Amino acid sequence: MAIHKFVPKVYHTAIGTHEPVLNIKSGDTVITTTVDAGGVDASGKQVTEGGNPQTGPFFIEGAEPGDMLSVHFDRLAPNRKFGRSSTVIAPWVLDPQYIKECPKGKSSNWQIDLKRWKATLIEPKTKLGRLKLPLEPMLGCFGVAPPRRQAISTATSSTHGGNMDYRGFCQGATVHFPVFVPGALLHVGDGHALQGDGEIVGTGIEISFDVQFTVRLTKKKPISWPRAENEEYIMTVGNARPLDQCVQHATTEMVRWLQEDYGLDARGAHLLLGQGVKYDLGNFYDPAYTMVCKVSKALLAKVAKGKSKKRRRA
């Protein structure tokens, strides 16, 4: 249960089987930092090239293909006073006929007030004035080394995680990954002070982060897509194009999970999802989109209670 303070020196813009920067054990906690999507650190210095540069990879001892790696975000917090975001919705998010009416791309600057937990729009000038929004910090891109000796661009995502840009991946969330390579090789990066669903302008408010996470390894627990949970929900994640395929991946993974770990039969799992499932849109910008399938823990507790009652009666 060691706590490691780690200061990154190299960054990667593809998630792959790179040289590990630190060996850690299941149960260990890492306190580190990430630079922003453009490679700029807490002090405003460009320390690496842009493109969601990742801190890591962290080697988890004993992790082998077929295991599951759980990453709990103990703390995710912006660590400087400015952020930036794009300002124009990506053309593939709008009707093709409408695209010619869009304004030109332009960056926006935001002042980040870490005390009041607010982002204030500084420029460009729009009818929004100095819009103030509450911070909701999250990590856009993180994951484990993919299979088949691949190195996959941090612009995109797949079964290994990557650039999912989902608002739900915030402090307090736990994300479970399939392990594809020895050591799992966890990468983290791309902090957003705030982001709308879909990351439809191509960025959240991009900023450098203080990150603290704790890993836990489950041996021989093969999963197909990232799973996650927070206080309220269990979640499965599908990354692909078109969005339809994300729904398919995420829903299938949820059907499996309910049967594996929540004691449901196939028909029970289908039936429960039919009337109780929820979906969140992760990103609708990157080469692979992200859709998240959710079931509330309150509903699962109700199901479990119903089953145990039945058992008592029997």
Residues 189-208, interacting with a second copy (CB under 8 A)? 194-201, 203-205
What is the bridge-based pairing of β-strands 54-60 and 161-163? unpaired
With vertex at residue 284, the alpha carbon angle to CA 281 and CA 290, rounded to the nearest 5 degrees, is 55
Taking the complex as a whole, how short is the minimal distance between the CB of residue 31 and a second copy, in angstroms? 28
Taking the complex as a whole, how short is the minimal distance between the CB of residue 211 and a second copy, in angstroms? 21
Taking the complex as a whole, how short is the minimal distance between the CB of residue 283 and a second copy, in angstroms? 11
Q: Is 297 in the site for a second copy (CB under 8 A)?
A: no
Of residues 3-42, those binding a second copy (CB under 8 A): 13-14, 16
Of residues 206-265, those binding a second copy (CB under 8 A): 240-245, 247-249, 251-252, 255, 263-265
Of residues 35-94, those binding a second copy (CB under 8 A): 51, 85-94
What is the bridge-based pairing of β-strands 3-5 and 29-34? parallel
Q: Which of 20, 77, 268, 297 binds a second copy (CB under 8 A)?
A: 268
Q: Which of 5, 81, 116, 132 binds a second copy (CB under 8 A)?
A: 132
Both tokens of residue 263?
Answer: 């004691």
What is the bridge-based pairing of β-strands 186-192 and 174-178? unpaired
* Rounded distance between C-alpha atoms, residue 28 and residue 9, angstroms: 21
Please choose, from the candidates 288, 297, 279, 254, the residue with its C-alpha nearest in 3D space to the C-alpha of residue 153: 288
Distance of alpha carbon 191 from the chain centroid:
10
Q: Which of 29, 79, 153, 218 binds a second copy (CB under 8 A)?
A: 153
